[in-house]
Amino acid sequence: MTQPDASKVDLFASTAVSQWKINLDRLNKMFDAFGDEELQQEIAPGKNRIFYLLGHLTAVHDRMLPLLRLGMRLHVELDQDFLTNPDRAAPDRISAGALRQAWTVVNDTLTRAIEALPAEAWLERHDAVSAEDFEKEPLRNRLSVLLSRTAHVQFHTGQIRLVVKKS
């Protein structure tokens, strides 16, 4: 390979960002294929509803905005029902339509900020590690958050896939 190092850093970042988008697109297609009532299905008997996972993923991605130091949260109000509490702890307080809207806005905002981040900035610390600790543990960087959240998308995609009708 004859690329200069700066271009190599760009390629590393582009590959990671591309995987984020590919995995998110795949999950989005699955959510879109469910009608609002179908979101009420459980992924397996007695397990989380798809509706809960949609809210859970929205809250987790919303938290990525400050965690990656890319901006303020947009939907703090989702945390109690979709992060703190398990599914069905209380009657749903948000409609399927409003939840889908939050999911779309959070991901669009987040992904735009992710795409705009300069390649080298992925190696800077994420917000949950102090500058002192980061000196000793340089892998606790923004990139590690992006990769682990990409994997988190797939964790739940694998579950939702269990209730997708094969065509």
Angle value at C-alpha 156, between 151 and 158, nearest 5 degrees: 90
DSSP-assigned states of every residue in 107-149? HHHHHHHHHHS-GGGGGSBPTTS-HHHHHH-TTSBHHHHHHHH
C-beta of 8 vs 112, nearer to its own copies: 8
Min separation Cβ 80 and its own copies, Å: 21
Does residue 45 belong to the site contacting its own copies (CB under 8 A)?
yes
Q: Identify the three-state secondary structure at position 91.
A: coil
Q: Which residues contact 47 (CB under 8 A, 6 or more apart)?
A: 159
Q: Give the count of residues interacting with its own copies (CB under 8 A).
A: 44
C-beta of 48 vs 58, nearer to its own copies: 48
Does residue 141 belong to the site contacting its own copies (CB under 8 A)?
yes
Rule CB under 8 A: which residues touch its own copies? 1, 3-6, 8-9, 11-16, 18-19, 22-23, 43-45, 47, 120, 122-124, 138-139, 141, 143-144, 147-148, 150-159, 161-162
